[in-house]
């Protein structure tokens, strides 16, 4: 299947690949097609970046006080009851009288215990309901605060308008490039193992859309795993592809054009 004719399907399959639900032969076929398609590789890497960012928004859940209280109550309820002492042997008359009084006392005690039990049960139910309502109020307040905080964090999250996967001549991905128009930032993430060494620098170029145009420098890359460069949307709007060249340490002037070999390049794609 040619995914270029079905961008929405390609996006869904790339998302399933990134989150891990695409398995078996389907996963292997996707990887095989991605090796031949820079756009498909870019979509998969972009979804991996999105899912990785979601873990930063998670909150630690701490058990509430009621959970520990119920555990303590269950432990206490399983303790063995104290043994009841056995009454000594007495005469038949005394025993009969004792049985009568004991029966009456037991009946009265059972009534009192029943009344006490009902009152205790009802009181416990009311107290538990009050605790549950209080816990719900606290949970609602906590969730409201978390929603406000998450909304603030999401507001600060970058948007992605353009993406490119820069690869070598063997189609091995080395750099993932994304552009955030909200913050006017190009973010480059090293996904390969290339090391330019201490005496050389990598320089990023926007390739021209016409043969008569000249490459425009977008900045010199540091050795960090993630590099951020300032860029404007107008610099990328008419750019069909990006390239990275190997230059002397510190790079070359922007107006002089690249002087070293092109190590990595890739098409600049606009996200859906």
Domain boundaries, the chain: 1-54, 106-157, 158-272
pLDDT at 12: 87
Contact 201, 248 (CB under 8 A): yes
Q: Is the pLDDT of residue 83 over 50?
A: no
Which pTM does this prediction carry? 0.52
In this prediction, residues 15-20 reach a mean pLDDT of 87
Please, is 264 exposed, middle or buried when counting C-beta atoms within 10 Å of its C-beta (0-12, 13-18, 19+)?
buried
Residue 147: pLDDT band by 50, 70, 90 thresholds?
A: low
Lowest mean pLDDT segment, chosen from 35-39, 85-89, 101-105, 258-262? 85-89
Contact 174, 190 (CB under 8 A): yes
Of residues 230 and 272, which shows the higher confidence score?
A: 230
pLDDT at 243: 96
- Beta bridge partners of residue 216, listed in sequence order: 206
Q: Return the structure tokens found at 223.
A: 């050795």
28-62 b/e (C-beta count within 10 Å ≥ 16 → b): eebeebbeebbbbbbbbbbbbbeeeeeeeeeeeee
Q: Is the pLDDT of residue 267 over 80?
A: yes
pLDDT at 199: 93
DSSP designation for 5? G
The secondary structure element, H or E, covering residue 179 is strand 173-180
| Topology given in CATH for the domain delimited by 158-272 | Immunoglobulin-like (2.60.40)
Q: Is the pLDDT of residue 191 over 70?
A: yes
CA distance to 44, 189, 194, 261, per residue, from 168 (Å): 18, 15, 10, 11
Residue 74: pLDDT band by 50, 70, 90 thresholds?
A: confident
Residue 88: pLDDT band by 50, 70, 90 thresholds?
A: low
- Beta bridge partners of residue 248, listed in sequence order: 200
**Cα 218 off chain centre by:** 31
């Amino acid at each position: 299947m040619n995914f270029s004719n079905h961008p929405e399907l390609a996006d869904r399959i790339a998302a399933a690949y990134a989150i891990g639900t695409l398995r078996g032969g389907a996963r292997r076929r996707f990887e095989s097609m991605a090796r031949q398609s820079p756009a498909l590789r870019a979509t998969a890497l972009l979804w991996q970046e999105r899912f990785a960012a979601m873990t930063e928004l998670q909150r630690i859940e701490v058990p509430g006080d009621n959970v520990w209280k119920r555990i303590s109550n269950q432990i206490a309820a399983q303790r063995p009851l104290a043994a009841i002492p056995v009454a000594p042997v007495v005469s038949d008359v005394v025993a009969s009288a004792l049985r009568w009084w004991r029966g009456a006392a037991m009946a009265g005690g059972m009534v009192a215990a029943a009344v006490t039990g009902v009152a205790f049960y009802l009181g416990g139910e009311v107290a538990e309901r009050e605790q549950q309502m209080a816990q719900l109020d606290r949970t609602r307040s906590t969730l409201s605060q978390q929603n406000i905080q998450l909304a603030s964090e999401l507001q600060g999250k970058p948007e992605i308008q353009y993406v490119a996967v820069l690869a070598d001549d063997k189609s091995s991905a080395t750099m993932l490039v994304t552009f955030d128009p909200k913050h006017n930032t190009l973010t480059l993430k090293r996904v390969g193992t290339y090391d330019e060494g201490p005496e050389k620098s990598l320089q990023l170029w926007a390739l021209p859309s016409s043969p008569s145009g000249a490459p425009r420098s977008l900045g010199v890359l540091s050795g960090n795993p993630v590099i951020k460069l300032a860029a404007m949307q107008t610099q990328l709007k008419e750019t069909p592809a990006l390239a990275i060249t190997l230059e002397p340490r510190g790079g070359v002037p922007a107006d002089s054009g690249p002087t070293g070999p092109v190590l990595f390049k890739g098409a600049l794609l606009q996200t859906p």
